[in-house]
Structure 1
């Protein structure tokens, strides 16, 4: 019985390792001057390992990932990344906010800019008595596949996060999560 529970938990964890793919601006638009990207992004919960797919005319537009300051000022002068193929896939491989603009003069100022917030791959329930959203709040589990997890423990709360400056993979994080689940299940069953 315990082995079955471990297999089910591990299968669920691995099935969430690959994310969804979102055509930017779809279904009614694309990477263009007509789409309201604030409205579009607010209708989607982006998760770790999801992909943004920017489709556009490479002769008319590009996609520039910028800092928050670059986003707010519509400046592509210090890009994080530049994409110009007309069909660019950007993986959301880390938690937090990311910013994209069209680097063609005037296009960002006309609204061709996108801010996305990437949340945990595996949302967890908030701790009892809290108003948390289950997206990595204390007491929840959040797997950031860009680095090995660190376990931070406080009385009554265990949360999983990433050590700053570390590197790793989603497989490592999921393996550690599965091992922790096995240990917890063995304590519960005994």
Structure 2
């Protein structure tokens, strides 16, 4: 049973990577020479933490989104194509759990045991995964977990911002639901 779950996880991630719209990270140029910030394995381990890091956070009133600059700067260290997989959906629908499963982690993104949402804003798993395609191309995969829609004391306008930013950041956007997606779910996304 467990091996089937692992195989399914790899199959899902493989399909996402092969079909993804990848983008290349920028190269720095001096006098026409490309200078890349290549990381050794040791430097990579210390540069990218093995934990979630917040990329976008809500302001104190939970009305606007604020970029967490120091965490976004980590992404500039990646060299080569990047595929971003983000998940959106209603609060407590299992988004964090789904991302943990896709990454093959029993614990990773926080999962809340009570009715209060655990994820605020948009979080990235700190250590990108590198995957080599059959063609030999190496692609970085970044996993994004998002704050759930329709939580208490959060406006639809705020939810729309989370959805818009997640859509813009991702190569693939997953909509997670605990049930069949119905017309009210689609209407809420519009």
Tell me the TM-score normalised to structure 1 length.
Answer: 0.25
